[in-house]
Every structure is written in C-alpha cells, then in structure tokens.
Structure 1
C-alpha cells in the first residue's frame, strides 16, 4: 500500500536518482563532472550522458516498483534490479570522475552531492526490500493462520 514505510523509501529513491541529473558529481580545481558532461581545462567537454540515462532508468524503475505495491514479490525483483542499476551508476561516476577526470585534469578531486545520492539510494533500496519482505511474511503467516482455523 502507498502509506507503508517502503513506499517512502522508494519515493526517496525516485527523487534521489533523478536528482543525480542536476547536481555536480565530482570536481577539482580544473574539472567538473555532472551526469551529462565532464568539463575540464578551458571548456573542453567529455560526454557522460550514460550516467544520466542509467540514473533516470533507475529512478523510473523505483517509481514503477512504488506503483506495484499490490505484488510484493514483483517489487522485490524490481528493487534487486534497481540495486544493480544504482551500482552501475556509481561505477560510471567513479570511472568518469576518478579515471577520466584525474587523467584529463591531472589533479585529484572531491566527490560532490551528486555522488552521494546513489549511495543513499542503495541504503534506501535495501531498507525497502527488507520491509517489503516483512509485509510478505505477515501476509503469508496470516493466510496460513486462517487455513489452520
């Protein structure tokens, strides 16, 4: 149901993964990484649109999972797939920020807000899975209790 705690977690994942597209992910003195581009030097740009695409797909999958509240096992499966997408997003961020960014700009950088949003989304996704499974167990126990009566 919509008022369950896992619905709040899923809604926060939708917001967090979508917000990755609007916050800087990584930066140093000469380079800045966002979900759509890595800008370095005197305006040279590397296209990183794949980060935005994967983060948006993850956000949409969390929204679909949120709206699939009547089928808890589908929700769990969708959230497991979403965990993989979030890790892929983080991997792409690491690649473009710490490999491409350092290589092109020659200096180490610092993670920004956009980097931590997927990290929080992973935690929220795990909590959502836990509470969905808890609800499923309650339903199964309730059904088996009725069958015994």
Structure 2
C-alpha cells in the first residue's frame, strides 16, 4: 500500500488519478504484477508521461512502456545482458551503467551498477536497498 506521503506528493504534482485504466491493469497483469501491490497501485494511479524524472534520474511509467513499446523484449534483454533472474524487471533504461530493478516475487527494489559483482546479485547475495516499492519511490522523490 502506498503511503499518504507519496500519494499527497503525487496529487500535489498533478500526477494522481483516482480512476485506473483497464488498459494499464492488463499491462500489469501481462508482466505478472499484482494490481493490489504498492507497485500496481502506483502505476495504476500515477502518471506524468512515459517517465518520471527527479534529480537527473529517470524511471519508466511501467504501464505506459508496456503498452507503447516492446517492453517485454526490453525486460528480456536487460535480464540476459546482466544475468538477472526473470523476476527482476528494469525500472529504467540502465543509462550511466546503473539502474533500478523491481523484484516481482518479493516486491523489493535493488539498484545495481556494472561496477558491482553481478554474480552476487544473480546468486541472491546482493541485498536490495529498498524493502518495498513505496520505500523506493519515497527515496527516489526524496520524501524521507
């Protein structure tokens, strides 16, 4: 569940929509995301175009990308190139050789870079930096 702090921030910026799009619901289901998860709730109700940009870092509006690009191919390409498990989906384009990845199985978010040992990450030894998507978004938007 999203925090009041994050929802209020999104409303203040004009990004919050009370009604969710049935198209976006289908897109989340297509990539294996629960609509009732904080990830699902965020992407069903928050939009500012195809991406969100904060302090020079850009993350996808996942539903928009899934609907309007070959996002499934993008996911598979990132997983193959970085040796990631199928449950990790990219939240950005991995520019600057670092990126954020959401774990659809346990809801955590991890930032990885090419400077890290990807063997540790793929073996499950690298600890996620955020225990849930809401915490990640509060950190991303510097709401903490």
TM-score by length of 2: 0.24
Q: Report the structure number with the largest CA radius of gyration.
A: 1
Q: Tell me which of the two structures has the higher relative contact order, counting C-alpha pairs closer than 8 angstroms and 6 or more residues apart.
A: 1
More helix by share: 1
TM-score by length of 1: 0.23
More strand by share: 2
